[in-house]
Amino acid sequence: MEDLYIFRKELQNLGYCETVVNTYPKEIKRFLNYSKKEKISITSEDVLNYFEVLKTTKSRVTKMDLSQSAIAGKMRSIRMYFDYLQRTGAIKTSPYQLKIKSPKYEERKIFSPEEIKKLYEKSSPLQLIILHLCYGCGLRRNEASELNIKDIDLENCLMYIKKGKGKKRRVIPFTKQVKEDLKFFTSIEKKKGNKTEKLINITSERIYIEFKYLLKKTGLNNQGFTLHCLRHTIATQLLNQGMELEKVRDFLGHECLGTTQIYTRIYGESTNLSTK
């Protein structure tokens, strides 16, 4: 699997986030294991058959059918891999000939205020910090795992995100309660002898696992919630509180305003529900 290792290095060199760098090679390996063929023997029919299999595959997280966006992401990793093999001369022609329509808008699932309160009440010290980062500060999980202690200005309650998606940097304000919890957490880590530069010395995958544990503790598992729902929730709440769309975009680190505008639909839906 040397090709996969080199492909992973290329993803890193191209500036893709940690999640893509770690996930795409795994998705390609699953496809190759499914096909039971060497890369040079893969046909367009193999790719199509795998695409059909994914349509009936259950998510390991939600236990429901894979979403259109999840399937598109898996297929994108395969397309990029064979494009890379063709470009480097490892194969003559890419077997990936599928033309998949862009995923339709899928409703962003958000937590209710009561559910957020329950998550905070049941959280461990580590899970509490994950909630503060991914909900209170709206970070993506790879941003949370890459956050260094030196990038947090406790005195002014500011967080500097230097490794955002697309290498986009931003400054995030946080509350005094988050400040106190961060101080307490870092003091505990120092007593443990943890001398790492990272705030939470775990991978983005481990962050997701911790959140799954928390969902189970609160009885919110198997309801379609994912870690990213925390970002959906804070974005919707900020709009609900009257924050301008452009400021919400900057808070989340979106490059395009259109991405943030998706949350206006959720905001409208939640407003309609609350007035019924």
Catalytic residues: 140, 165, 228, 231, 254, 263
- Nearest Cα to Cα of residue 227 among 247, 204, 249, 256: 204
**Identity (one letter) of the amino acid at 258?**
G
> What are the distances in angstroms from CA 168 to CA 11, 160, 249?
17, 11, 12
Number of other residues whose CB lies within 10 A of the CB of residue 3:
16
User: Residues near 181 by Cβ (< 8 Å), separated by ≥ 6?
Assistant: 128, 129, 132
User: How far is it, in rounded angstroms, from Cα 89 to Cα 106?
Assistant: 38
User: Residues near 211 by Cβ (< 8 Å), separated by ≥ 6?
Assistant: 127, 130, 134, 227
> What are the distances in angstroms from CA 110 to CA 26, 171, 232, 236, 269?
29, 24, 6, 8, 11
Contact 235/248 with Cβ under 8 angstroms?
yes
Where is 159: in which H helix or E strand? strand 158-161
